[in-house]
Amino acid sequence: MKNIFLAEDDADDRMFFEDALKKATIPTKLTLSNNGLELMSNLETLTQHPPPHVIFLDLNMPFKDGFQCLQEIRNTPKLKDIPVVILSTTANDMSVDKTYELGANYYICKPVTFQLLVKAIETVLTLEMRPQPLKEKYVLSIT
Amino acid sequence: MFYQLPDMTENKLPDVIRELAFQNEEKGKRAAELIIVNKELVFQNEEKEKLLAELRIANKELAFQNNEKEKRAGELDIANKELAFQDDEKGKRAEELTIANKELVFQNNEKEKRAAELRIANKELAFQNNEKEKRAGELRIANIELAFQNDEKEKRAEELTIANKELAFQNDEKEKRAAELIIANYARSLIEASLDPLVTISAAGKILDVNEASIKVTGVPREKLIDTDFSNYFTEPTKAQEGYRRVFEKGFVADYPLTIKHKNGNLTDVLYNASVYKDDKGNVLGVFAAARDVTEQKWAKDLRIANKELAFQNEEKEKRAAELIIVNKELESFTYISSHDLQEPLRKIQIFSARLIDGELKNLSDKGKEYVLRMNDAASRMQTLIVDLLTYSRTTSTERKFETTDLNTIIESVKKDFAEIIAEKNAVITADEMCDAHIIHFQFRQLMLNLIGNSLKFSKPRIAPHIVIKSSIVKGSTVNNQHLLPEKDYCHITITDNGIGFEPQYKDHIFELFKRLHDKEKITGTGIGLTIVKRIVENHNGVIVATSELNKGATFDIYIPST
């Protein structure tokens, strides 16, 4: 059972993600956060062991956006080694560069079909998380 | 006491004692002798030691002498060598002396020869001496003659000095006159050289004299100008008359504007500055008038005005350009943001419709099924459209980093993107002799992606697409295109396919935004691809030309500056 976190302010996307997790072949336990602030407080009270396998992070969120969360995670000793995968609607150079600079492990565009979303989650869960700093800063394509 | 002993012993005892006494005596003698011998031996011994000491000294002395002799032998050996060497040297010296001797003998001979010659020369000199004395006699006679002649010449010189003074006086006079002439000439030359038309006018308004500039500005020769009315040569004769009359009245005029008329009709705007001139007694002889051509000043004034106007217009344009840049940026970010925001709900439509299709299709009626499928289809078209619009907005963005890039690497990477469709259509893409190009890498990759993508898309049914890409460096002058600079080097990239092509009249239309030449049902696309291509070529300060005929494939020629 892999512990995973998702920070996503969009209810539809949260629903898609939960459904997709159920379809995925890898068993997981999901901690949902409706925004960045909630994510950080969920991570603050974190006592479980082992630490989360991965945090899926949306960028555009109220109260605390994905960039701020990522920065805080990387600056907090007990969180800094947790892999973070950015899940955003679009991949523009500015966002991609900035998130990799802040220490993201991967960047994924939100898939446009449910099947692709399942596949994306499965791909991330089986990926070997690359050690920081990253050499290849590319947008992970799910086809 | 010794002798009292027998009284106390037997009869025999005295004999023994006697014997013992005797022995004793003997022994005493013997001891005395031994003492003497001993002393003798001691003496001999001492003597021997003395002798030994003497011998040791003698020995040392001998050893010393020996050494000395050896040293002496060494010195003698060295002296010997030295003598041998000196001997050699003397031998050599003797040889040299022999040679020197021979030389001296030879020199001696030579000197004797020379002495003989000198004797002959002496005789010759004696003879010459005699001759010279004879000549001296003759010279003395000649001298007397010359002295007489000299006297004569001195007399003549005195006469010449007088004549000279006379000439010098005449010369001075002539020089004064020449100087006066030079001044007069100089003044005239100045007048003639003046670019301003100069003229003198009589009280009756007749021209008395003119300079070259006056002839030039009127086109009338000097002799035809003189003695004619000054006012004849102006567009406004009365104004000209008024002018010189004022000079006679006031003594001068300043910056009096008139327009001189050339006989060929040309007009020259001038400003007159004139004053009266008088004779020695103060009588007015006429007016001296100088005209300054102000045509250029007028032009300059006009130009200044025009320049100001242009500067103003320029400023306005710059303001406008700055505004446009801001508006453009706003538009870019608007396009970008709106595309991003459009994508968000669209993605959900797609996911929901896809989930309907996956899970709920069986619960729908046939019509319902069709609607859902059509909705899904429309949503995915919109998705492509948004992606294309995003790409287009990226190509208009101001961030442009040029780098020298191997075109092969771009083509190879584009081929990978199309691997699936290339395999499916059995397409062949050949890219030979690709040159390096100075390009914005990500934009040029997009350009190749769109052009190769088009060629693959617009292929003929059941015919494997064949795309040929070539590039070379060409001079602008070798290409028949008015947008290229003749002297500049361009990277010429050609992409040719064997697809369906298009009718020649559409060669410019195809680059327009949202322009489609084909039925949407048959061929998918948003009509943005070639617009992006054209925009990218323009971003590279280049030109793109499309040539085709229907069903005969298409060729795209791209020219971008090579550096």
A114 in reach of chain B (CB within 8 A) = yes
Instruction: DSSP letter for B3, please.
Output: G
User: Is the alpha carbon torsion for B102, B104, B106, B109 positive or negative?
Assistant: negative
Mean pLDDT rounded to a whole number for chain A: 84
The per-residue DSSP string of B188-241 comes to HHHHHH-SS-EEEE-TTSBEEEE-HHHHHHHT--HHHHTTSBGGGGBSSHHHHH
Closest chain A residue to the Cα of B387, Cα to Cα: A90
Q: Mean pLDDT check: name the lowest of A129-133, B54-58, B319-323.
A: A129-133
Question: Does A132 contact chain B (CB < 8 Å)?
Answer: no
- The residue with tokens 């062949």 is B428
- With CA atoms as reference, report the closest residue to B539 among B468, B470, B438, B412: B438
Q: What is the pLDDT of residues B259-283, one digit of tens each?
A: 999 989 888 889 999 999 888 888 8
Inform me whether the pLDDT recorded for A80 exceeds 80: yes
Rg of chain A (C-alpha set): 14
Query: Is the ipTM reported for this complex over the cut 0.85?
Result: no
Q: Please list every residue in chain B whose beta carbon sits closer than 8 Å to the beta carbon of residue A12.
A: 348
pLDDT range class, residue B1, cuts 50, 70, 90: very low
B354 contacts A115? CB cut-off 8 A: yes
pLDDT at B525: 66
Is the pLDDT at A131 greater than 80? The verdict is: no
Residues B113-161: tens digit of each pLDDT? 999 999 999 999 999 999 999 999 899 999 999 999 999 999 999 999 9
A113/B contact by beta carbon, under 8 A = yes
Q: What is the pLDDT of residues B485-534, one digit of tens each?
A: 888 888 899 999 998 888 888 878 788 766 666 665 555 666 778 888 88
User: Can you read off the two tokens belonging to residue B538?
Assistant: 């323009």
Find chain B residues with C-beta within 8 A of A117's C-beta. 351
Residue A86 near residue A59, CB atoms below 8 Å: yes
**CA–CA dist A18, A8 (Å, integer):** 11
Report yes or no: B312 and B369 within 8 Å, Cβ to Cβ: no
pLDDT at B106 over 50: yes
For chain A, percent helix, then strand, then coil, each to nearest 5?
40, 20, 45
- Rounded CA-CA distance B192/B186 in Å is 10
The reported pTM is 0.42
What percent of chain B shows pLDDT beyond 70? 95
| CATH classification at residue A110 | 3.40.50.2300
Q: What is the pLDDT of residue B3?
A: 46
Amino acid, single-letter form, for residue A141: S
pLDDT at B548: 87
* pLDDT mean across residues, chain B: 86
Distances (CA, A) of A84 to A75, A130, B159: 13, 11, 130
Contacts of A92 in chain B (CB under 8 A): 336, 340
User: Is residue A126 over pLDDT 50?
Assistant: yes
| Residue A133 binned pLDDT confidence (cut-offs 50, 70, 90) | low
**Rounded mean pLDDT, B210-238:** 91
Mean pLDDT across A96-123: 86
Mean pLDDT of A67-75: 92
Are B354 and A90 within 8 A, CB to CB? no
Residues A3-8, mean pLDDT to the nearest whole number: 91
pLDDT at B520: 55
Sign, Cα dihedral of B246, B251, B257, B259: positive
* CATH code, B194-293: 3.30.450.20
| A56 exposure class (CB count in 10 Å sphere: 0-12, 13-18, 19+) | buried
Q: Is residue A137's pLDDT more than 60? A: yes
The residue range of the domain holding A47 is: 2-140
CB contact under 8 A, B339 and A90: yes
**Nearest-angstrom CA–CA distance, B94 and B416:** 107
> Mean pLDDT throughout A25-51?
84
**Average pLDDT for B90-110:** 91
Taking contacts as CB-CB distances below 8 angstroms, the residues of chain A near B355 are: 114
Max CA pair span of chain B = 224
Please tell me the distance from the alpha carbon of residue B488 to that of residue B289, in angstroms, as a whole number.
58
Rounded to a whole number of angstroms, the distance from the CA of A46 to the nearest CA of chain B is: 32
Return the sign of the alpha-carbon dihedral for residues A124, A128, A134, A137. negative
Contact yes or no for B355 and A110 at CB 8 A: no
Inter-chain CB proximity A113 and B354 less than 8 Å: yes
Q: Is the pLDDT at A132 greater than 70, yes or no?
A: no
Whether B350 and A115 lie within 8 Å, measured CB to CB? no
The domain made up of B298-399 has a fold known as Helix Hairpins (1.10.287)
Q: What is the pLDDT of residues B431-481, one digit of tens each?
A: 877 878 888 887 888 899 889 998 998 888 888 999 999 988 888 888 888
Q: At what angle do helices B366-396 and B441-457 cross, to 10 degrees?
A: 140
B340 and A117 within 8 Å at the Cβ level: the answer is no
CA distance B402 to B398: 12
A138 DSSP assignment: -
Tell me which chain B residues have a C-beta less than 8 angstroms from the C-beta of A110: 347
The total of other beta-carbon atoms located within 10 Å of residue A11's CB is 9
Is the pLDDT at B54 greater than 70? The verdict is yes
Residue with tokens 């002058």: B477
- How many structural domains comprise chain A? 1
| Amino acid identity for residue B285 in this structure | L
Q: What percent of chain B has pLDDT over 90?
A: 32
**Per residue in B390-407, pLDDT tens?**
777 777 665 677 888 888
A89 CB neighbours in chain B (<8 A) are 340, 343-344, 347
Residue A13 dihedral angles phi and psi, to the nearest 5°:
-65, -35
Q: CB of B379 within 8 A of CB of B351? A: no
As a whole number of angstroms, the distance between CA A79 and CA A48 comes to 12
Note the helical H segments in B285-432: 295-355, 366-396, 407-417, 419-425
The alpha carbon of residue B523 is apart from the nearest alpha carbon of chain A, in Å, by 22
Rg of chain B on CA atoms, in Å: 71
Over range B158-179, report the average pLDDT: 91
Residue of B nearest to A12 (CA): B348
At B147 the three-state DSSP class reads helix
Three-state SS for B444-481 is HHHHHHHHHHHHHHCCCCCCCCEEEEEEEEEEHHHCCC
The neighbour count for residue B238, using CB atoms within 10 Å, is 9
Q: Does B348 touch chain A (CB under 8 A)?
A: yes
Q: Do B340 and A12 touch (CB under 8 A)?
A: no
Residues of B in contact with A61 (CB under 8 A): none
| E strands, B87-219, in order | 198-201, 207-210
Q: Which residues of A touch B348 (CB under 8 A)?
A: 12-13
Residues 6 or more apart in contact with residue B26 via CB below 8 angstroms: none
Instruction: Please state the rounded mean pLDDT for residues A79-95.
Output: 84
User: CA of A19 to nearest chain B CA: how many angstroms apart?
Assistant: 11
Which of B332, B344, B348, B351 is the mutation pick for testing A, counting most A CBs within 10 A?
Answer: B351
Q: What residue has token string 């004849």?
A: B232
Encode pLDDT of B195-223 as tens digits.
889 999 988 889 999 998 899 999 999 89
Q: In which residue are the tokens 């300059």 written?
A: B300
Cα separation of A4 and A30, whole Å? 5
User: Which CATH architecture best describes the domain B402-561?
Assistant: 2-Layer Sandwich (3.30)
Q: What is the pLDDT of residue B373?
A: 87
Q: Where are the domains of chain B?
A: 16-165, 194-293, 298-399, 402-561
- Give the number of other CB atoms < 10 A from CB of residue B410: 22
